[in-house]
Amino acid sequence: MKPLKIGILGLGTVGGGLLEMALGNGPLSKMVEITGVSARNKNRPRPVDISKIAWFDDPSELAKHENVDVIVELMGGADGPAYHAVITALKAKKNVVTANKAMLSAHGVELAKLADENGVQIRYEAAVAGGIPIVKALREGMAANNIKNIMGVMNGTSNYILTEMAKTGRPFGDVLKDAQALGLAEADPTLDINGGDAGHKLALLCALAFNGEPKFEEIELEGIERVEPVDLESATFLGFAVKLIASAGLNDNKLSQSVRPSLVALANPLAQLDGALNAILVEAEPVGTLTFIGSGAGAGPTASAVAADLVDLFYNDVRPLFAGPCITNSNIEIAPKKSLNAKFYVRFNVADKPGVIAKISDTLARHQVSIESILQKPPTKPDNVAIVLTTQKCDELILIDAIDELSKYDEFIGKPLIMPILN
Ligand code: HSE
């Protein structure tokens, strides 16, 4: 078989990792030849010498080059040059391999149609959870299953931050700076910490598993910005870890999808996940529950996923973009946001005055929300003390109503933090 001729757009961390694989002595080096590369900065130091590879200042020129079979898009960004280059490549009948979750969650359906019209493929294993082959697992290994639930930690930066905060008691802002210095968080870490990055990944997995098209805007999103050391300390005391959980589940043909900080029982494998790793649990019929753990970012793991897609194209494996188990689940509805029935963790910040706990218990009781446990640490500042409670199972909307009612009292400061408790 003839090697694939590839053009690589974007030579950052992942592009550098891919060059090492393509130009090294491993399996990929037998299956691809690099026609050209394009990136923002030609002279930036790279792990391999690229001086003998054709350089293109304009990514779209390379995207439609006659001597290219596959465009590997590693530039990132939902719109702009990456999107433009992918459109150009598809129209020029080039296959596309991309790690761009933001672009696929925003434009996946349109790109799928364009790929179909031009008889080419789009592959995106590297877009979800870096080196973990979760797209392949859903699309191929579990293709004939009914997927019940997907639950995972899909953003390494936020997991690193929560893990460090729990270990050291340091505040969010300080640990975020460490994550940036270590090269884990992006220079602009907004999407890592506000749940957007994990939401993009969940949208792609839901497309494969449930509804056939990414619906990012319908995901309930909450990031980790409001989690404080007191939450991590209280969770540990109660026997839980705090994790940014991306989850999706199908109940009565209604799909609920959310990314939000949650308390996870220590017995759950997700609670044990330290540092920048990713983990995903998939519950399906008839296979049962499968657990995937590995590096969700970085040169080697993400390039490994890009390379796997190239190998599939080398062997001419053909599949529709978002086809997987979802083929059996058309016409599902999206569940309304905040429709969870669960136990919850709530942290109030209050002025330390007599009767505050009575107001909380009275208000929750009137809304039929039963308290399971309540904690107050000795106050360090009498004008702002944390009261933490956990509830029995209740409807989140009812809990929110009760908490809104409490905000009318002067002792209650700011917006309480609510996190679901997962078993
Ligand atoms: N920045 C992401 C993370 C990896 O921290 O997991 C790429 O999506």
Q: Who contacts 204 (Cβ-Cβ below 8 Å, separation ≥6)?
A: 101, 104, 105, 108, 124, 127, 128, 135, 214, 322
Q: What is the pLDDT of residues 101-112, one digit of tens each?
A: 999 999 999 999
State the closest ligand 1 atom to the C-alpha of 160, by its place in the atom list counted from 1.
Answer: 5
Is the pLDDT confidence value at 342 over 80? yes
pLDDT for 330 = 62
pLDDT for 217 = 95
pLDDT for 61 = 97
Of all helices (H) and strands (E), which one includes residue 17? helix 13-23
Q: What is the pLDDT of residues 118-164, one digit of tens each?
A: 999 999 999 999 999 999 999 999 999 999 999 999 999 999 999 99
Give the closest residue (by CA) to ligand 1 atom 8.
197
Compute, in angstroms, the gap from residue 407 CA to the centroid of ligand 1: 36
pLDDT for 320 = 83
State the closest ligand 1 atom to the C-alpha of 155, by its place in the atom list counted from 1.
Answer: 6
Q: Who contacts 48 (Cβ-Cβ below 8 Å, separation ≥6)?
A: 16, 19, 20, 23
Question: What mean pLDDT, rounded, does the chain reach?
Answer: 94
Compute, in angstroms, the gap from residue 100 CA to the centroid of ligand 1: 11
* Residue whose CB lies within 8 A of the most ligand 1 atoms, among 197, 245, 259, for a mutation test: 197
- Residue 335 carries which DSSP code? P
Q: Give the chain's end-to-end CA distance (angstroms, integer).
A: 50
Is the pLDDT confidence value at 328 over 60? no
State the closest ligand 1 atom to the C-alpha of 201, by its place in the atom list counted from 1.
Answer: 8
Q: Who contacts 159 (Cβ-Cβ below 8 Å, separation ≥6)?
A: 153, 243, 244, 273, 274, 275, 276, 277, 278
Compute, in angstroms, the gap from residue 271 CA to the centroid of ligand 1: 19
Query: Helix (H, G, I), strand (E, B), or coil: what is residue 175?
Result: helix
* Residue whose CB lies within 8 A of the most ligand 1 atoms, among 192, 259, 278, 302, for a mutation test: 192
State the closest ligand 1 atom to the C-alpha of 197, by its place in the atom list counted from 1.
Answer: 8
pLDDT for 329 = 55
Do 197 and 191 form a contact (C-beta atoms < 8 A)? yes
Token duo for residue 373: 């446990």
Count other C-beta atoms under 10 Å from residue 309's C-beta. Answer: 26
pLDDT for 64 = 97
Is the pLDDT confidence value at 293 over 70? yes
pLDDT for 179 = 87
Peptide linkage before 27 cis (omega within 30 of 0): no
pLDDT for 116 = 93
**Distance of alpha carbon 74 from alpha carbon 185, whole angstroms:** 17
Q: Is 27 exposed, middle or buried (0-12, 13-18, 19+ CB in 10 A)?
A: exposed
Q: For the residues 3-24, what does the mean pLDDT come to?
A: 96
Q: What is the pLDDT of residues 395-410, one digit of tens each?
A: 999 999 999 999 999 9
Q: Who contacts 290 (Cβ-Cβ below 8 Å, separation ≥6)?
A: 137, 142, 281, 282, 284
Token duo for residue 348: 């109030």
Q: Is 201 in the active site?
A: yes
Is the pLDDT confidence value at 69 over 70? yes
**Distance of alpha carbon 159 from alpha carbon 153, whole angstroms:** 7
Least confident of 214-223, 246-255, 330-339: 330-339
Compute, in angstroms, the gap from residue 5 CA to the centroid of ligand 1: 28
Compute, in angstroms, the gap from residue 402 CA to the centroid of ligand 1: 36
* Residue whose CB lies within 8 A of the most ligand 1 atoms, among 176, 184, 245, for a mutation test: 184
Listed by start position, the domains of the chain span 4-123, 134-295+321-334, 341-422
* CATH H-level superfamily of 4-123: NAD(P)-binding Rossmann-like Domain (3.40.50.720)
- Which residue bears the tokens 């993400």? 302
**Distance of alpha carbon 159 from alpha carbon 176, whole angstroms:** 11
Compute, in angstroms, the gap from residue 156 CA to the centroid of ligand 1: 6
Least confident of 169-178, 273-282, 325-334: 325-334
Compute, in angstroms, the gap from residue 9 CA to the centroid of ligand 1: 19
Compute, in angstroms, the gap from residue 129 CA to the centroid of ligand 1: 8
Is the pLDDT confidence value at 324 over 80? no
Is the pLDDT confidence value at 255 over 70? yes
State the closest ligand 1 atom to the C-alpha of 186, by its place in the atom list counted from 1.
Answer: 1
Q: Who contacts 46 (Cβ-Cβ below 8 Å, separation ≥6)?
A: 11, 16, 19
Give the closest residue (by CA) to ligand 1 atom 4.
297
State the closest ligand 1 atom to the C-alpha of 101, by its place in the atom list counted from 1.
Answer: 8
- Strands 70-73 and 220-221, sheet pairing: unpaired
Give the closest residue (by CA) to ligand 1 atom 2.
155
CATH hierarchy code of domain 134-295+321-334: 3.30.360.10
CATH of 341-422, one of 1.20.120.1460, 3.90.1150.10, 3.10.105.10, 3.30.70.260: 3.30.70.260
Is the pLDDT confidence value at 422 over 60? yes
Q: Is 361 exposed, middle or buried (0-12, 13-18, 19+ CB in 10 A)?
A: middle
Do 211 and 329 form a contact (C-beta atoms < 8 A)? yes
Q: What is the pLDDT of residues 43-61, one digit of tens each?
A: 988 989 999 999 999 999 9
Pocket around ligand 1 at a 6 A CB cut-off: 155-157, 192, 197, 296-297
**Distance of alpha carbon 277 from alpha carbon 369, whole angstroms:** 36
pLDDT for 327 = 64
Q: Who contacts 85 (Cβ-Cβ below 8 Å, separation ≥6)?
A: 9, 59, 60, 62, 63, 71, 73, 75
Q: What is the pLDDT of residues 365-391, one digit of tens each?
A: 999 999 999 999 877 777 899 999 999
Give the closest residue (by CA) to ligand 1 atom 7.
297
**Distance of alpha carbon 274 from alpha carbon 263, whole angstroms:** 15
Q: Is 360 exposed, middle or buried (0-12, 13-18, 19+ CB in 10 A)?
A: buried
Phi, psi (rounded to 5 degrees) for 240: -130, 165
Q: Which of 94, 101, 201, 243 is catalytic?
A: 201
